[in-house]
Amino acid sequence: MEAMMPEIQNRFEWMKAALRERGSSFSKIARELDVSPSSVTHAAKQTHVSRRIEQAIANRLGKQVSDIWPDKRKQHDLENQR
């Protein structure tokens, strides 16, 4: 059974474990998107932003992007107000 999403410092490890439970990985997502594995890692850790990669990770985890990265909800709300 999947555990609740942890706080920010453990989110990356949670994502890796949750992907593994689903038979996936950051490397598999990278291959599917034709990007480097490090690009997926950077997006997961939020050291670089890629909506495409974030969405792919969220889809694979069965979650919304804003569920994984709550600050994205604020950003999305601001963009929708324009």
At the top level of CATH, the class of 8-81 is mainly alpha
pLDDT over threshold 80, residue 72: no
Each residue of 28-62: pLDDT tens digit? 999 999 999 999 999 999 999 899 999 999 999 99
pLDDT of 56: 98
Cα–Cα distance between 30 and 19 in angstroms, integer?
A: 13
pLDDT of 36: 98
**Angle between helices 26-33 and 8-21 in degrees, nearest 10:** 80
Cα–Cα distance between 30 and 17 in angstroms, integer?
A: 16
Pick the more confident residue, 57 or 2: 57
